[in-house]
Structure 1
Amino acid sequence: MRRFTVALTLLATLAGGSYAGSQAMSAERGGQVAGRGTNILVVGIDSRAGLSAAEKRRLHVGGKGCNCTDVMMLVHLSEDQRRASIVSIPRDSYVQYADLTAPPAAPGPARLGKINGAFALGAGPLSVRTVEKATGLRVDHYLETGFTGFEQAVNDLGGAPVCTDKPLQDDGSGLDIAAGVHRLDGNGALRYARARHVTNRPGDLGRVRRQQRLVNDLLARLTAEGALANPARATRTARILLKSVRTDERTGLLDLVRIGWALGRLRPADIESATVPIRIFDHRVPGVGSTLVWDEARSAALWNALGADRPITGDPRIHPVPETPAGTNPAGIAVRVDDATVAKALRRNGFLVTDTSPSAPAVRPEGPPVIRHAPGREEDAATLAAALPGARLVAVAGHDKSFDVAVGSRPVVVKTVTYDRNTVDGAPVTADALRCPGRAGSPVPAVSPVVPAVTGGRTG
């Protein structure tokens, strides 16, 4: 197997738990669209079963597992084997479960819940059937794995490269790394992959994007260091990984070799990654809790593209591109504006606006608007500047958390900005867009894989 077989098995291990035995998927799945190409469902299970107290402390997984899928990704290999699409399905997606006793298209009472709960009800077979029901696609192969397997695989491979432009901390997973490029051991990589409470990218969507980066940079490192340079080395690497992965009865070594050989010849620009577009990020359901509701039109366009064997990047039906995108949410940006008209227009944009026009100077200073802000607020400043094209940004030491807009002598046009959380963390991109800046395939500086770049944190 070549390069992407590594990706498939690593995807299975990301943030997963101890795997439960996969059951045979012998039920007929009539009514599903076979489509063109090959679809592989990759899951990681959140379970602490079989872990000793010492292992839980070492892995930083002392909480109670749910015996559910913590990670779920659908990998599509195109019919001509020239493109691969990896779609992350958030674990809290609110869907209708399938019924193992009936064909997916058969009518029956609807049982709704989080997609990760399908595993607790019917293990791998129900997880597969539920994904098929929700997407309309047929799943051809199934991979499942867990915590300790991921840790050992990363250690055996010599560590996983990670790059970040900001420090990352998460008490829940134990992650604590500084800005820069690191090579984490298996324990550190697991903490990175499981982190859900990172300040600048919280929640599952941010976690999924970090997982995609981890896989991509590890592939680049293995390729650069020759771990996949020939069939013998690639097979040896794959055998290490397959120790931690279980498959369904329709998926054997030859299947993985066939898939891996095809995917291993792809360039980074031919490998796509995305997350299912979400319409409601906190849909409360009695007895279920907070769930994610898919954007019906955009998710349908995503599954239709995969069923028709089309690319998912560059498709405006999956990812509409607004005229003026905002990188952060205006609803969380407090602004003081010394012009009543501009203040009103920014308020319509969703900014938290205070009108300070009564204290504005009688004579406006020459030039465009000036936005003053505290250092470290550059992302929010860029969002505000997008609504005020031509504005000048000034970082002021000691400035409070609000932004101050001083309107100048030039006429001001306030543009309507669009914030789409799907764009920030889950828009379809190719693998080359996920790599560390300036590190296209080059080896990661050696950091001892036996010493994780992780410290402290509570067990969670």
Structure 2
Amino acid sequence: MRRLIAGLTVLAGLASWPWIGAQAAPAAGGAVERNPGRGTNILIVGIDSRAGLSAAEKRRLHVGGEGCDCTDVMMLVHLSEDRRRASVVSIPRDSYVQYATPEGTAGEAPHGKINGAFKIGRGPLAVRTVEKVTGLSVDHYLETDFTGFERAVDDLGGATVCTDKPLRDENSGLDITTGTHHLDGNRALGYARARHLDPPGDLGRVRRQQRMLADMLDGLTVRGALADPVRAADTARRLLGSVRTDERTGMNDLIGIGWTLGRLPADRTEFATVPISHFDHRVPGVGSTLLWHESRARALWEALRADRPITGDTRILPVPETRAETNPAGIRVRVDDAKVATALERSRFVVTDTSASAPAVRPAGPAVITFPAGREADAATLAAALPGARLRSADRPDAVFDVTVGSEPVVVKTVTYDRNVAEGAPVTADRLRCSGSPAPASDTAQHG
């Protein structure tokens, strides 16, 4: 009886949500009426602050040093009007933007890293700045800090992460081996904060955060934690102990959001990072920042405003004729043909022309790429520029790729490397999350 009463109370509260009421009431002829609108936008931020932490807590959380009192994580979640799609867009902390004007001030607002808006005007200015630079209205705001994140992950049953190589970052305390791991809140915090990995910086970190969130949502769905309003209410109550909300966001809002996310299949949940044009834009007094790609970022926000999917939108992520999976600028190549060497340089490979010592009679067959063992991904990038070339692995101490041109004509294609593709392209959760079963629960105890 108590569960029935609780369920009726939750449903009564949820009826106040226009979109839930609209979905619940079929119109004449069996069609479902929809309220006009543009969906719902939720801004989720994690704060980098050591305020109130004891020395022991700082050691346990691996957060020594001075905090910036700014947003360390920023995600904008868009729920479509029909509640059949969710789009999660990460906004890198070093994005260089113009802040919204703080309340009670006059004149032009300053520019800076987007994470600094919180330090100036706390959550309200962070929200207004996101609204200013995206053109979207933020309907709900959720905020947590280090301890809140740790507690939230523990309360929600932990986080599953996977990696194809060992990950170690002394700054964040992350230290996990190759494979799939189920992490408690403390280790999940280290995973979410790690920046000193390969690739370094914010975009790789943001993609790992997205992958962890995708797997957490999958885990909550599998366990039924969001299966109905009553279970979603229980999950929301636990979450409210770890996060702070704005005055527009209450228990019923969290239940509705959770219930919506819990009913979405993985291929209807999208993740992306704002497209970047400059990854090291230096600003006096600010430091190294990220500049958004003007046209592609604008296309991203326009798609969300129009309530359209962001995956498959070539305005957000153009499809090059020949895509490089790794950066040619990190691949050193010796080429024994001058024309081929010049053509490869156009794609930014680091080329040494050895044509002066090439044999007078070329070996029969196509060109051969001899690459250092363990550099298969880079070999695939070079092979994309030289279609038809044969690949040959060899143990080489100098880490240089050799291209030996044969008797057959060589076609050189211009390859395009886009770091946004590698670390932030729009993708659905089924392609992002870990595959296979999570590691046993004992993994947490062994490494926690």
TM-score norm. by structure 1 comes to 0.86
What residue number does 2:434 align with?
436
Q: Report the CA distance between 1:83 and its aligned residue.
A: 0.8
What do residues 75-110 of structure 1 show as CA deviations (whole Å, max 9, x unaligned)?
11111111111110111111111113379xxx9424
Amino acid paired to 1:164: T
What residue number does 2:272 align with?
274
Quick check: 2:181–2:443 contact (8 Å CA) kept in 1? no
Quick check: 1:216–1:431 contact (8 Å CA) kept in 2? yes
Alignment of 1:34-53 (within 5 A): 36-53=38-55
Amino acid paired to 1:446: P
Identity of aligned residues (%): 71
Amino acid paired to 2:45: V
What residue number does 2:26 align with?
none
Q: 1:130 aligned to 2:132?
A: no
Q: 1:357 aligned to 2:355?
A: yes
Alignment of 1:238-277 (within 5 A): 238-277=236-275
Quick check: 2:46–2:71 contact (8 Å CA) kept in 1? yes
Q: Of 443, 451, 454, which residue of structure 1 is paired with 2:445?
A: 451
Q: Report the CA distance between 1:258 and its aligned residue.
A: 1.9
Quick check: 1:187–1:452 contact (8 Å CA) kept in 2? no
What residue number does 1:111 align with?
110
Q: Of 404, 414, 417, which residue of structure 1 is paired with 2:415?
A: 417
Amino acid paired to 2:395: A
Deviates more, 1:120-129 or 1:322-331: 322-331
Please give the secondary structure, in 1, of the residue aligned with 2:254: helix
Amino acid paired to 2:142: L
Q: Of 101, 104, 108, which residue of structure 2 is paired with 1:99?
A: 101
Quick check: 1:45–1:69 contact (8 Å CA) kept in 2? yes
Quick check: 1:35–1:307 contact (8 Å CA) kept in 2? no
Deviates more, 1:204-213 or 1:385-394: 385-394
CA distance in 2, matches of 1:112, 1:130: 11
Amino acid paired to 2:413: K
What residue number does 1:75 align with?
77
Please give the secondary structure, in 1, of the residue aligned with 2:142: strand
What do residues 359-401 of structure 1 show as CA deviations (whole Å, max 9, x unaligned)?
2222222222211122221221111111011222222123421
Please give the secondary structure, in 2, of the residue aligned with 1:422: helix
Alignment of 1:209-248 (within 5 A): 209-248=207-246
CA distance in 1, matches of 2:389, 2:216: 41
Please give the secondary structure, in 2, of the residue aligned with 1:45: strand
Amino acid paired to 1:286: P
CA distance in 1, matches of 2:170, 2:262: 36
- Greater Rg over alpha carbons, structure: 2
Quick check: 2:236–2:255 contact (8 Å CA) kept in 1? no
CA distance in 1, matches of 2:226, 2:307: 28
CA distance in 1, matches of 2:420, 2:103: 35
Quick check: 1:373–1:400 contact (8 Å CA) kept in 2? no
RMSD across aligned positions (CA): 2.0
Alignment of 1:41-440 (within 5 A): 41-101=43-103, 108-199=107-198, 201-437=199-435, 439=436
Change (3 A) 1:211 1:418: same
More contact order relative to length (CA 8 Å, sep ≥ 6) = 1
Change (3 A) 1:301 1:108: farther
CA distance in 1, matches of 2:157, 2:139: 31
Quick check: 2:70–2:116 contact (8 Å CA) kept in 1? yes
Quick check: 2:386–2:411 contact (8 Å CA) kept in 1? yes
Amino acid paired to 1:285: V
Quick check: 2:336–2:358 contact (8 Å CA) kept in 1? yes
Amino acid paired to 1:448: S
Q: Report the CA distance between 1:51 and its aligned residue.
A: 0.6
CA distance in 2, matches of 1:102, 1:76: 30
Quick check: 2:46–2:144 contact (8 Å CA) kept in 1? yes
What do residues 275-297 of structure 1 show as CA deviations (whole Å, max 9, x unaligned)?
11111111111111111111111
Change (3 A) 1:231 1:259: closer
Deviates more, 1:267-276 or 1:210-219: 210-219
Please give the secondary structure, in 2, of the residue aligned with 1:264: helix
CA distance in 2, matches of 1:367, 1:35: 62
Amino acid paired to 1:436: C
Q: Report the CA distance between 1:229 and its aligned residue.
A: 4.6
Q: Report the CA distance between 1:321 and its aligned residue.
A: 0.8
What do residues 9-51 of structure 1 show as CA deviations (whole Å, max 9, x unaligned)?
xxxxxxxxxxxxxxxxxxxxxxxxx961111111000000011
Deviates more, 1:423-432 or 1:324-333: 324-333
What do residues 97-129 of structure 1 show as CA deviations (whole Å, max 9, x unaligned)?
1113379xxx94241111100000000000001
Change (3 A) 1:408 1:447: farther
Q: Report the CA distance between 1:149 and its aligned residue.
A: 1.7
CA distance in 2, matches of 1:76, 1:111: 27
What residue number does 2:14 align with?
none
Quick check: 2:226–2:258 contact (8 Å CA) kept in 1? no
Quick check: 1:43–1:73 contact (8 Å CA) kept in 2? yes
Deviates more, 1:371-380 or 1:202-211: 371-380
Amino acid paired to 2:102: L
Quick check: 1:274–1:429 contact (8 Å CA) kept in 2? yes
Please give the secondary structure, in 1, of the residue aligned with 2:128: helix
